[in-house]
Amino acid sequence: MSVAKIRLYVEHPLGQGQSVPLSRDQAHYLFGVMRLGLGDQVLLFNGQNGEWRASVAEAGKRGGTLEILEQTAAQRMPPDLWLLFAPIKKARTDFIVEKAAEMGAARICPVQTEFTNAERIRRDRLQSHAVEAAEQCGGTFVPAVCELQRLDRLLADWPDDRQLMFCDEALAGASETLGSAGGSKWAILIGPEGGFSPAERTRLQSLDFAHPVSLGPRILRADTAAVVALTVWQQVLGDWS
Ligand code: SAH
């Protein structure tokens, strides 16, 4: 009998005594791919109710049922951090979403900047990458992936209480850091491979809530920059300490 090693995200309330129906895809994964049978255990989370151990009560080709046994972890929410990034090539965009989910971003927002190449994204595909990353990293939260939005519109409607860590490649090598900036609601902004346009940079520099930051003396690729910025933010203001 398999002891719970598999972690599965489900869109179903989780609690003592609950039974959780499985979708066709989930049944295929658990019984077809992972070869689980009756009585085998999995860990479940739904992004709200923590993590629960459950056992297989019914197993079929097109569905099945899990019975919840006990809670194994409390719900843990990430800091209130959004990652705004300009989508790049598919594999690199997938990487950014996966890393942001692992590193504790609360929301992942692809943004269209002047030099962004991608005109559209597959939000549902990116969302499933975020789910897989949460399943793999032991998290109980799955960040929401937003639809592609224009950066200028997003900045025009910016919430009063949120700070922006503006990662500006023009500052590479400068001593601009997050420093002593406070506040608990933040967003990180990473530009596309082509960088920010002069007009975007001027606008961003004029915004009170935007904090221009350097990520060191070298120009990083956008996917590297996203991971570095998340690391720096988590270390200085996030839930690492
Ligand atoms: N084509 C641009 C580089 C863009 S790098 C140029 O050659 O100047 C992609 C994004 O990563 C940038 O828009 C920025 O948000 C971030 N980035 C990369 N290196 C950085 C650095 N050293 N400091 C701050 N941001 C950086």
Ligand 1 atom nearest 190 alpha carbon: 15
Percent of the chain having pLDDT more than 70?
98
Taking only the tens place, the pLDDT of each residue in 108-135 is 999 999 999 888 899 999 999 999 999 9
Q: pLDDT at position 241, please?
A: 74
Mean pLDDT for 219-225 is 98
Residue 177: CB within 6 Å of ligand 1? no
- Say what the pLDDT of residue 179 is: 79
Q: What is the pLDDT of residue 5?
A: 85
Q: What is the largest CA-CA distance in the chain?
A: 62
Given a cut of 90, is residue 4 above it in pLDDT? no
Q: Is the CB of 215 under 6 A from ligand 1?
A: yes
Assess whether pLDDT exceeds 80 at residue 60. Answer: yes
Please state the pTM of the whole predicted model.
0.95
pLDDT value at residue 3: 67
Give the per-residue pLDDT at 13.
97
Cβ of 196 below 6 Å from ligand 1: yes
For the residues 62-85, what does the mean pLDDT come to? 97
Q: What is the pLDDT of residue 177?
A: 87
Domains of the chain as residue ranges with CATH: 7-73 (2.40.240.20), 80-236 (3.40.1280.10)
Q: Is the dihedral of CA 104, 108, 110, 114 positive or negative?
A: negative
74-113 in b/e form (b: 16+ CB < 10 A) is eeeebbbbbbbbbbbeeebbbbbbbbbbbbbbbbbbbbbb
Predicted pLDDT at 185: 97
Q: Taking all residues of the chain, what is their mean pLDDT, rounded to a whole number?
A: 95
CA dist., res. 142 & res. 133, Å (int):
8
Lowest mean pLDDT among 96-100, 142-146, 156-160, 181-185: 181-185
Q: How far is the CA of 45 from the centre of ligand 1 (A)?
A: 36
172 CA distance to ligand 1 centroid (A)?
8
Q: Is 163 left (phi over 0), alpha (psi -120 to 50) or beta?
A: beta
Banded model confidence at residue 1, pLDDT cuts 50, 70, 90: low
When computed from its CA atoms, the radius of gyration of the chain, rounded to whole angstroms, is 20
What digits encode the pLDDT tens for the residues 164-196?
A: 999 999 999 998 888 778 889 999 999 999 999
Instruction: Say which residue the tokens 């991971």 belong to.
Output: 227
Q: Tokens in use for 11?
A: 């869109």
Which residues pair with residue 187 across a beta bridge?
A: 82, 164
Tell me how crowded residue 12 is: count the other CB atoms within 10 A of its CB: 15
Cβ of 227 closer than 6 Å to ligand 1, yes or no, is no
- Encoding tokens for residue 112? 């269209």
Per-residue pLDDT, 2: 63
The pLDDT, as a whole number, for residue 117 is: 80
Share of the chain above pLDDT 90, in %: 91
